[in-house]
Structure formats: C-alpha cells, structure tokens
Amino acid sequence: MFSKILIANRGEIACRIARTARRLGIRTVAVHSEADASARHVRLADEAVAIGPAPAKASYLNGRAIVAAAQLTGCEAIHPGYGFLSENAGFAEACTRAGLVFVGPPAAAIRSMGSKSEAKRLMERAGVPIVAGYHGEAQDEATLAAEAARIGYPVLVKASAGGGGKGMRVATGPSELGAALASARREAESAFGDGKLLLEKYLERPRHIEIQIFCDRHGNAVHLFERDCSIQRRHQKVIEEAPAPGLDSAQRARMGEAALTAARAIGYEGAGTVEFIVAADGTFHFMEMNTRLQVEHPVTEMITGQDLVEWQLRVAAGETLPLAQDRLAISGHAFEARLYAEDPARDFLPATGTLAHLQFPAEGRHLRIDTGVEEGDKVSVHYDPMLAKLIVWDETREAARQRLVDALGACEIAGVATNLAFLGAVAAHPAFAAAEIDTGFIERHRADLLPDARPAPDRIAALACLALVLERARAAQSALWRAGERQTDGTFAGSADPRSPWAFGDGFRLNQDGRHAVHLQDGTRRIDAVVRARPGHYVVELPGGALEVARAFAGERTIEAEIAGTRTVARAVRTEREIAIFAEGKSHRFAILDPLAVAAEAEAEGGSLRAPMPGKVVDVLVAEGARVARGTPLLILEAMKMEHTIRAPADGTVEKVKFAPGSQVEEGAELIAFRVEGETAPEEIGP
C-alpha cells in the first residue's frame, strides 16, 4: 500500500478521500487554488501545496503543477477524485511518465469511454444493448437531420465528451433540431473543449440505473450492485438510492453481467460505473461508462459496508480485489441527497455568496455527511456549487426515507440560496415515498416541489418580523448601553436583567407609537407587515390577519415567541439582505425589502433584464425593436459552464441590446432594456 498520496481535487470529495487515507495510515497532500488556501480539504490533509489562481483552468485543471506538487512532496500516487482531471487520459499518462500511480483505470480505458460515441460503438460490438441513435463521425447538419428523422422524434442531442448533464438538448420535432444542435455544441465546446455530438432516441419516463463495478489487474472483476439515480434536474442527479426499488435479483444479475462485459471489453481496472437507461418495460440500454468514482458512491458503501476509496487505493497499489462477488451482499437501503448552492425557483441556477450560517445534524450509524465547506466559506463561480451530500441508511426504504426527511429538516444554511427545501419536498413527496420514480419526476411534480408552492405559514412570517424588530431594539439597547444609560444596579430601565433576552421584550421604547413596519419577500409573495409593540405583548399584522404575541425575545441567532397561544423556538439568522428562520424541521428564507431602496431600484431598472451571475453573452436571439411574447428567449448567457436563457419577463418590446455576443458581463449587468407592453412608468412601490 502507498505511504503518501496527493489528492488532486477540492471540496467534499477531497475531504472524503483524506478521511479514508487517514484511516489507512496514508499521508495526504492537498493541492489548492489561491481561493482555497484555508479550505477544509486543505486543513484535513497532512501537507498542502498551492497550485495557482482561483479559476480551475489555472489550478485544479493544471496537470503539470499537480504532478510537480506530487514530486516535490514525495508522493507515490495521485487520486483525482471526480470532475477536474479524473477522466483526462493525458493526465493519467503524465502521472505514469513522472513515476506516479494514477488512481484510476489505464489511459486507454479512459479514452475509449471518454467519447460517448466511441463507447457506444465499442459496446455495440461487445454485445451490450445500447440506446438507439446516431453516433457516427459525420457532424454536418444534413446528416444529423436525416439521422434524427430516422431515429424518430423526440431526439436527445448529446455532447460526445459530455458529463454532469451538460451539452444535452431535447428536440421534440425537426423545427427544434437546429437550435438544439447549436446550443449543445456551444456548451460542449466551452465545457469540454469538444463540440462533437451524438443523437439518441429520447425515452419518455425512463429510469437511470447504474452498476458500480471494480476490476483489479489480476483478472478479477465484480459489481457492487446498482444505484437508482432517476431523480434528476437538468439531466443531473440530485437524489440517488440503492438498491433500485423494484429491481428483482434476476434483472440485477443481468445488468451486473452486462456492466462487467462492458468493463472487460476495454481492459478495465479500478472503480467504474456503467450507466443504463431503463425503459418502462424493464429493458435496459447502455448510456455511458464513467471511468472514475461517482459522486453518489456513498449509497453503495452504505448498503455493502465497503469503503470504495480504500478499494481504489488497494487496486491501484496492485493488490487483488478485497472481496469476490459471492462475498458481496446488499444490506438495507440508502439514499443520498446532493445539497447545492442553487435556486430551484430560478430553474436551479447556481448561486453564490457567503455561508453566513451553516449547521448540519450530527453524523452517526444512520447518517453520513460528506462536505467540503464550513460556516464563513464563500461559494464562488469558480467551482461546482455542490455544498454537501447527506447520506442516510436504514433497514428498509421507508425507514431510510424518513431519516432523509429528518436529516434535511435539521440542516440550517443562511447566506446562500440552496436546494435544501426542494430536497426536503422531494423526500417527503408521496410519489417518492411510493417509489414512483423516473427521470421525469421533478418536472412532473414541479408545482409541489418548488418553494412557491409552499409559502411560509403566518406564524413563521410573524417570527421573521419579530426577529427583525427585536434586532432593531437590541441595536438600540446596546447603543444605550454604550451611551452609559444604565441604572445604578447595572440593568436597563424596564428590564430586570440586561443579559436576559426577555429584556428586549419591550421594543416600544424604540418608537413613540410602538409601530414597526417590516417588508419581506417570501418567494413571489410580498409581505408588508406591521409589528405593534405594547407593554407586555405584541401584535403582528400580516396581510392575512393579525397574530397576538404574548411575549417574544431574540437571542444570538435565536427567536422565541408565544404566538396565538403556542410557544415556538426557532433559529433566526439575519444576513445583509435576508432573514432565515429554521423551525420545526423546515427552512424559510425571507428577503428583507427596504421600501425606499426597492422603489429606487425599480425606478433605475425600468424593465431591464440583468445578468444573474458573471458570464459571457454567447448569443443574442432578438433584434432591437422586436415585439416579443412573454417567455420568448432573448439572449443566451454562459456562466459556470452552463447556458442560461434570458427570457422576456412579459409581453413587450426589446428596446436595446446592451452586449454583443462574446462580451463578458458582470453579475447584475443590464443585458437588455425591455419595455413591458402597455407600461409607461415603472410601478410605484411606496413604503
């Protein structure tokens, strides 16, 4: 076994590899970008080497710097994790040339599976069933159009070099093909540096079931069963589970055999995953093979009791596989939920910001949390927005699902938009509980899953209002304290003990009439509230009616109140622009509206459309002066290696296009000046 390895990755997976290495007594070297100097993965490793500036191209994708770091620190092997250089055959070869072991398959195996087109040709020859489609060399529009017609619509356009759901577009008919090809090709070129495309029959309501395989260099090969990864958004997995619900052992054995046939056909070594798409009738077809560890590998670890990173290291060091097929068995059921910094309400757009508050439930036999971030960390545009993975295990699917619901409910995150509430809604959904899952699940149940479907209850909105008002009171009290307005016994006027949070119960001191206006935004719902402070109690007037509050106090990041006779204790975290309330196993985020600022912004903005994040304008789809209907695609922005379509917010006119294709834009930059039909002046939002 190795005595020292370099971890060529960051975040959650780098931390996870470090954890196994430590258990095995292997020393670790972390590499990091300038942005990650104090990141968790760096602190978990024994040594660390800075390899370049924040952009991945200059750091985590800088193979030369990484190999040099491994040589400098005397490592024997490099574990690439996933993403970054993990499926880069050139990097695998560079490691070998430098006398380092690349923890992964031989470069040739990476190459044959790196191109989905070539992989499908290989699998076809090896007798593995593949998805019907076109995976030829010719890429001209006429050939692709003819092939699409032959396959029959709907057709899925895929980047041959693709991964992570990028470079994929559905064309439901010939009229959509041109745009789908152009957009997939552009995204593929920018994300993978390779615009080659393939076409597949787009299957309706299939399941994604994949097989974890392992091979050593002594001719042994096993599969570690399947994972069902059908819960996806943007063609990317968000919740995975093992075993796959309803898969019988005969089918499992057939898929396992097909996966091993695929691995043998390319002389595989190490960990790999063969992904199949399973049609409603149970027939399965090869989709692609990922020649690395998979993001969702922990669910397999939970049901087999094996450590797959340990297996990888042993195989890479030349040992035989730790277990033979007949020694592997499935025990219980596991789920993994991927927690992303993203905004489900904005089509899962990646989000950035500072993790002002971050708290996960405690790990144990039933719950594992793989994460690479800590409170105070910045989520930047440079890297994948995945924050953590919550992995749960129990004897049955239902018991494990309940644990997932509980674990998600116990997470507290403020400062950055996340999919936490969305994941919670999926996990709690009756159709998910009934295992009625396929890749269309999220689309189909969208209305039940998005935050707007679940506005915060009035009691929670009242807590948010009280928290803000009490915070103002607290600020005022501490100002008084500083001003020395203290009574001789050291207490404030009107309270027995200044340290007791109950001391802040009489916020009316702030304001003559004890009336405080609070303006919040909960999803698409605006809440204009008034908190009236009376001696001994409050009244919170919400749009839906008034709530009596017998008493309320705010502590450091907590709020406690007796609302309409019921006492509630919650976490309340105030950041610059929002207040987050964590109560009763749910997160609620309210944007704080400053009425004057909102009015000023609306005035300045008119009907403009702004860049949701820094990026590059790749295409402008409309001409200035064009009248368009609501929802018409206007402009395509590429950010975080994905294309985002900026659409008309309403029926109206494109007054001015402010950037030409190729322009780099800052977050918030006005892209298009847009006049909404029939609107003359911006809507007035008064205080």
When CB distances to ligand ADP are compared, the closest residue is 83
Nearer to ligand ADP, 11 or 104 (CB): 11
Stretch that binds ligand ADP, among 76-84, 261-269, 488-496, 627-635 (CB under 6 A): 76-84
- The Cβ-side half-sphere exposure at 88, using a 13 Å CA radius, reads 22
Spatial contact of 123 and 130, defined as CB atoms under 8 Å apart: yes
Between CA 654 and CA 623 the distance in angstroms is 7
| Residues 94-133, mask of contacts with ligand ADP (x by CB under 6 A) | -------------------------------------x--
Question: Rule CB under 6 A: is residue 12 a binding residue for ligand ADP?
Answer: yes
Between CA 244 and CA 251 the distance in angstroms is 11
Nearer to ligand ADP, 92 or 203 (CB): 203
Query: 570 touches which of ligand ADP, Mg ion, none (CB within 5 to 8 A by kind)?
Result: none
Nearer to ligand ADP, 21 or 293 (CB): 293
Between CA 71 and CA 95 the distance in angstroms is 10
Q: How far is the CB of 202 from ligand ADP (least distance, A)?
A: 5
Spatial contact of 18 and 44, defined as CB atoms under 8 Å apart: yes
Q: How far is the CB of 386 from Mg ion (least distance, A)?
A: 15
Q: Which residues have a Cβ under 8 Å from the Cβ of 5 and sit 6 or more positions away? A: 21, 26, 27, 28, 29, 75, 76, 77, 78, 79, 103, 313
Q: How far is the CB of 500 from Mg ion (least distance, A)?
A: 56
Handedness of CA 667, 668, 670, 672 (dihedral sign): positive
Q: List Cα–Cα distances, 416 to 344, 353, 451, 579, 580, in angstroms.
A: 12, 5, 15, 11, 10
Between CA 675 and CA 648 the distance in angstroms is 10
- The strand ranges marked E within 523-585 are 525-534, 537-542, 545-555, 558-563, 566-574, 578-583
- The strand ranges marked E within 430-504 are none
Question: Rule CB under 6 A: is residue 386 a binding residue for ligand ADP?
Answer: yes
Give one word for 333, left, alpha or beta, with left for phi > 0 and alpha for psi -120 to 50.
beta
Q: How far is the CB of 8 from Mg ion (least distance, A)?
A: 21
Q: Which residues are catalytic?
A: 292
For residue 37 the two structure tokens come to 């100097």
Query: How many other C-beta atoms lie within 10 A of the C-beta of residue 250?
Result: 8
Nearer to Mg ion, 240 or 506 (CB): 240
Provide the pairing of β-strand 4-7 with 77-79: parallel
Nearer to Mg ion, 235 or 551 (CB): 235
Q: How far is the CB of 312 from ligand ADP (least distance, A)?
A: 14
Between CA 429 and CA 433 the distance in angstroms is 6
Between CA 531 and CA 518 the distance in angstroms is 7
Q: How far is the CB of 93 from ligand ADP (least distance, A)?
A: 19
Q: How far is the CB of 73 from ligand ADP (least distance, A)?
A: 22
Query: 165 touches which of ligand ADP, Mg ion, none (CB within 5 to 8 A by kind)?
Result: ligand ADP
Among 164, 243, 298, 615, binds ligand ADP (CB under 6 A): 164
Question: Rule CB under 6 A: is residue 336 a binding residue for ligand ADP?
Answer: no
Name which of residues 406 to 445 contact ligand ADP (CB under 6 A): 439
Q: How far is the CB of 421 from ligand ADP (least distance, A)?
A: 20
Q: How far is the CB of 114 from ligand ADP (least distance, A)?
A: 10
Question: Rule CB under 6 A: is residue 377 a binding residue for ligand ADP?
Answer: no
Between CA 167 and CA 169 the distance in angstroms is 7
Q: How far is the CB of 158 from ligand ADP (least distance, A)?
A: 6
Query: What SS3 class is residue 190?
Result: helix
Query: How many other C-beta atoms lie within 10 A of the C-beta of residue 482?
Result: 9
Query: 473 touches which of ligand ADP, Mg ion, none (CB within 5 to 8 A by kind)?
Result: none
Element (H, E) at 63: helix 63-72
Name which of residues 192 to 221 contact ligand ADP (CB under 6 A): 200-203, 206, 208
Question: Rule CB under 6 A: is residue 671 a binding residue for ligand ADP?
Answer: no
Query: What SS3 class is residue 177?
Result: helix
Stretch that binds ligand ADP, among 10-18, 38-46, 306-314, 352-360 (CB under 6 A): 10-18
Nearer to ligand ADP, 163 or 507 (CB): 163
Handedness of CA 450, 455, 460, 462 (dihedral sign): positive
Among 5, 6, 7, 11, binds ligand ADP (CB under 6 A): 11
Angle (nearest 5°) at CA 102 between 99 and 103: 145
Spatial contact of 394 and 332, defined as CB atoms under 8 Å apart: yes
Q: Which residues have a Cβ under 8 Å from the Cβ of 431 and sit 6 or more positions away? A: 437, 441, 445
Nearer to ligand ADP, 289 or 518 (CB): 289
Nearer to ligand ADP, 83 or 507 (CB): 83
Residue whose pair of structure tokens reads 């935004």 in the numeric block: 521
Residue whose pair of structure tokens reads 């195989």 in the numeric block: 315
At 291, give phi and psi (nearest 5°): -90, 55
| Residues 480-509, mask of contacts with ligand ADP (x by CB under 6 A) | ------------------------------
Nearer to ligand ADP, 165 or 625 (CB): 165
Among 15, 287, 622, 669, binds ligand ADP (CB under 6 A): 287
Stretch that binds ligand ADP, among 154-162, 307-315, 512-520, 537-545 (CB under 6 A): 154-162
Handedness of CA 125, 200, 206, 394 (dihedral sign): positive
Nearer to ligand ADP, 61 or 315 (CB): 61
Among 162, 344, 501, 615, binds ligand ADP (CB under 6 A): 162
Binding residues for Mg ion, rule: CB under 5 A, are: 275
Between CA 145 and CA 179 the distance in angstroms is 12
Question: Rule CB under 6 A: is residue 380 a binding residue for ligand ADP?
Answer: no
Question: Rule CB under 6 A: is residue 163 a binding residue for ligand ADP?
Answer: yes
The amino acid at residue 203 is: L
| Residues 247-286, mask of contacts with ligand ADP (x by CB under 6 A) | ----------------------------x-x---------
Nearer to Mg ion, 70 or 274 (CB): 274
The amino acid at residue 337 is: A
Among 295, 341, 351, 463, binds ligand ADP (CB under 6 A): 295
- Applying CB under 6 A, the site for ligand ADP has a residue count of 34
Among 301, 370, 377, 384, binds ligand ADP (CB under 6 A): 384
Question: Rule CB under 6 A: is residue 82 a binding residue for ligand ADP?
Answer: yes
Question: Rule CB under 6 A: is residue 290 a binding residue for ligand ADP?
Answer: yes
Name which of residues 526 to 585 contact ligand ADP (CB under 6 A): none
Output DSSP code: residue 103. Answer: S
Q: Rounding to the nearest 10 degrees, give the CA dihedral for residues 582, 584, 587, 589.
A: -60
Within 193-281, where are the H helices?
249-265
Nearer to ligand ADP, 296 or 541 (CB): 296
At 431, give phi and psi (nearest 5°): -70, -35
Among 234, 235, 472, 675, binds ligand ADP (CB under 6 A): 235
Between CA 518 and CA 574 the distance in angstroms is 14
Name which of residues 606 to 635 contact ligand ADP (CB under 6 A): none
Which residues of the shown chain bind ligand ADP in the complex (CB under 6 A)?
A: 11-13, 82-84, 131, 156, 158, 162-165, 200-203, 206, 208, 232, 235-237, 275, 277, 287-288, 290, 294-296, 384, 386, 439
